[in-house]
Amino acid sequence: MLAIDGSLLDFKQLDLLAMRQTAIHRLDPRAKVLTTLIFIICVVSFGRYEISAMLPFLIYPVVLMTVGDLPGGYLLRKILIVIPFALVIGIFNPVFDRQVIMQFGPFEIWGGWISCMSILMRAILTTSVALILVAVTGFPATCEALEKLGMPKVFAVQLLFLYRYIFVLTDESVRTSRARQLRTFGRRGLGIRQFGSMIGHLLLRTWNRAERIHMAMLSRGFSGEFHTTHRQSRFGREEIVFMGGWIAFFVLFRVYNAPQLLGRLFTGTMP
């Protein structure tokens, strides 16, 4: 039960973070969405055994987190929850890929371990930037940016409605399962039949609510067309500098393995 309440709270907190007013929050959402996408493409395009070359990419989430005034511990916890999903697959790498890739005295390191680490690294980088994007932009603004970038309006409206009613319906879901739990007296688990009717009730209530929302929309002149005023946002100098700067950074560090070069400089193995 705590888990359900917790994930709801989590959701609300991420939304609250988006309401802060920092230089990053103020940027046009499009700049942040595009930069994030390019970041992810750069990261996932690295080779299978790449680890060190990805490290400079950590700078982006770190900078956004600090300038955007986001609580590091909170984001870290959220990232840690998700990472096991990628690792479940990654952990098979050492099983199947036993090519010796590195040797420190008697210790042999298989390619599988390296590529597994690489998956971990990718997971950390990609999940952190996705979460940070929402935390510094907010979901509605992200949708708006995507709509301006060509997402169909019907889908944008769908995303906004979904987002709005997640808060209402998850509350209902929490109440329903709390009420059930209080009457099960410690017997754990929910039978599939009970579950069916519980979810059925939830669905009926949802359906009725959708009808009431429709009524409310009609009574305010809704006729099938959705008019939204877009928040004032412009793609100005700051956005160009932000995007241009970061993309240059990503491309540079995608092509050159800076940690490798740096390490050679220090260990004197420069060719």
Partner 1 sequence: MSHHKVEVKDLRYVYPDGTVALHDVSFRIHHGESVAIVGANGAGKSTLLLHLNGYLSATSGKIVIGDIQLAKHNLTEIRRTVGMVFQDPDDQLFMPTVFDDIAFGPLNMGLAAAEVESRVTEALERVGAANLRNKPPYHLSGGEKKRVAIATVLSMLPEILVLDEPTNGLDPYARRQLIALLQAFHHTRIVTSHDLDMVLELCERTIILQEGRVMADGPTLDIFGNEELLKTCRLEKPLAMQGCPICSPGSRVMPEQKPLVPPHGDKNHDHEH
Partner 2 sequence: MHMADALVSPAVGGTLWAASAAMIAYSSSRVRKNLDERKVPLMGALGAFVFAAQMINFTIPATGSSGHLGGGLLLAILLGPYAAFLTIASVLMVQALFFADGGLLALGCNIINLGAFPAFIAYPLIYKKLVGRKTCQSRMVMAGVIAALVGLQLGSLGVVLQTVVSGVSALPFNTFLLLMQPIHLVIGVVEGVVTVLVVSFIYRARPEVLDSAHQDKPLGELPMRPLLAILIISALLIGGGLSWFASESPDGLEWSIARITGSDELPETDHKGHKQLAAIQEKTALLPGYSLPAETRDAHDPTPTAAEERIGTSLAGIVGGTITLSFCLLIGIFLKRRAHSQRIQASR
Task: Provide the minimum distance between the beta carbon of 20 and partner 2 in the complex, in angstroms, as a whole number.
Answer: 12
Residue 8: exposed, middle, or buried by beta-carbon count in 10 A (0-12, 13-18, 19+)? middle
194 binds partner 1 (CB under 8 A): no
Question: In whole angstroms, what is the distance from residue 42 CA to residue 3 CA?
Answer: 34
Strand segments, DSSP code E, in the chain are 100-104, 107-110
Interface residue with partner 2, options 21, 197, 229, 232 (CB under 8 A): 197
Longest dimension (CA), the chain: 78
197-223 burial, b if ≥16 CB within 10 A, otherwise e?
ebeeebeeeeeeeeeeeeeeeeeeeee
163 binds partner 1 (CB under 8 A): yes
229 binds, among partner 2, partner 1, none (CB under 5 to 8 A by kind): partner 1
User: Which of 31, 34, 118, 249 touches partner 2 by CB under 8 A?
Assistant: 118
With CB cut-offs between 5 and 8 Å by kind, which of partner 1, partner 2, none does residue 85 bind?
partner 2
Instruction: Work out what residue 174 binds among partner 1, partner 2, none; the CB cut-off runs from 5 to 8 Å by kind.
Output: partner 2
Q: How many CA atoms lie within 13 A of 245 on its CB side?
A: 11
Q: Name which of 151 and 247 has its Cβ closer to partner 2.
A: 151
Q: 171 to each of 6, 113, 166, 216, how far by Cα in Å?
A: 12, 43, 8, 21
Residue span binding partner 2 (CB under 8 A) among the ranges 111-119, 228-236, 237-245: 111-119
Can you tell me which of 16, 108, 158, 236 binds partner 2, judged by CB under 8 A? Answer: 158
Indicate the angle between helix axes 111-137 and 139-148, nearest 10 degrees: 100
142 touches partner 2 (CB under 8 A)? yes
Q: Which residues bind partner 1 (CB under 8 A)?
A: 12, 15-16, 139-140, 160-161, 163-165, 167-168, 209, 212-213, 215-223, 225, 227-229
